[in-house]
Chains A and B, each alone.
Chain A
Amino acid sequence: MMNNDTSSLHNRLALFRAEAGLSRKDLAEQVGVNPQTIGFLERGQYGPSLELGLKLARVFGVPVETLFSLEPFAPLAASLAAPRIMEGGR
């Protein structure tokens, strides 16, 4: 993971945080950072350290690669629609 402000790392942090019903402040407290840092991460303006990435993944109970990726994640709507399209095609 990277510690720069022009991170090429993609993440689903906002999605997981919204689903868990956590505010930025709540999440920040759980991983020991400033709430603004969560905002920077969600906007892709900062690439976290490996330690912070692992802490975030632990909060949501998922592997770190579910939360972060070097490749862009597929849009949520496309991911949800994919199984239906597959079923319809059978």
Chain B
Amino acid sequence: MAQAHEFTPPRFSPMRVRVLSGLALGALVAGTFGPLVLPLDGGGGMMTVTRGLGWMLAAMVAVGSPGWRHVAPGELDERERTERARAVVIGHRVSGICLALAFVWTLIGQARGLWMPSLGQTSWLIGAAFSLHIMVPAIILAWRAPVDEED
């Protein structure tokens, strides 16, 4: 029987996670919220590429940090497991708050006739929310870890 090759995800340094997540957040904000508040063509090439870049960087952060992704047994020590668990809990809370706000907005928006996103804009917003969801634990872990710890 052929032996299954196990994928070993990379482990980015805290500084790399900080830089990548900062770039991802910038691209997501610009590509998602820019067209909503500024007279920009959200469906145009520039904004589409910007959003795509944000999603791609968010995916890199999620895979390169033991935050949201699966962690192999023995990959983390006891402190790292504790910190990861707390970061994941905070990430779930942030996502829950975002969901609750979106829910409240749709309820009030229907009744009061407030601005509601189009189908395309909804997909951008959900993409940004998902990207944020998978990045938050990694961001917390990266900012908690000392970057240059002298020995």
Q: In the assembled complex, how far is the CB of residue A90 from the closest CB belonging to chain B, in whole angstroms?
A: 43
Once A and B bind, how many residue pairs between them come within 8 Å at the CB atom? 37
Complex contacts, B78 vs chain A, CB 8 Å: 3, 33, 37, 48-49, 52
- Is chain B's interface secondary structure helix, strand, loop, or mixed overall? loop
Which residue of chain B is the closest to A37 with respect to CB atoms? B79
Complex contacts, A33 vs chain B, CB 8 Å: 77-79
**A contact residues, total (Cβ < 8 Å):** 18
The interface bits of chain B over 67-93 (1 if a CB of A lies within 8 angstroms of the residue's CB, else 0) are 000000000111110110000000000
In the complex, whether A5 has a CB less than 8 A from a CB of chain B is: yes
Determine if A5 and B146 form an interchain contact, defined as CB atoms under 8 angstroms apart: no
On chain B, which size bracket covers the interface?
10 to 19
Complex contacts, A5 vs chain B, CB 8 Å: 82-83
In the complex, whether A58 has a CB less than 8 A from a CB of chain B is: no
The interface bits of chain B over 2-35 (1 if a CB of A lies within 8 angstroms of the residue's CB, else 0) are 0000000000000000000000000000000000
The interface bits of chain A over 26-63 (1 if a CB of B lies within 8 angstroms of the residue's CB, else 0) are 00000011111101100000101100100000000000
The interface bits of chain A over 3-43 (1 if a CB of B lies within 8 angstroms of the residue's CB, else 0) are 11100000000000000000111000000111111011000
Which residue of chain B is the closest to A24 with respect to CB atoms? B151
Chain B contacts to A: CB under 8 angstroms: 76-80, 82-83, 145-146, 149, 151
Q: A32-B77, A34-B79 are in contact. List 18 more A-B contacts (CB 8 A).
A: A5-B82, A5-B83, A24-B149, A24-B151, A25-B151, A33-B77, A33-B78, A34-B80, A35-B149, A35-B151, A36-B79, A36-B145, A36-B146, A37-B79, A39-B146, A40-B79, A48-B78, A48-B79
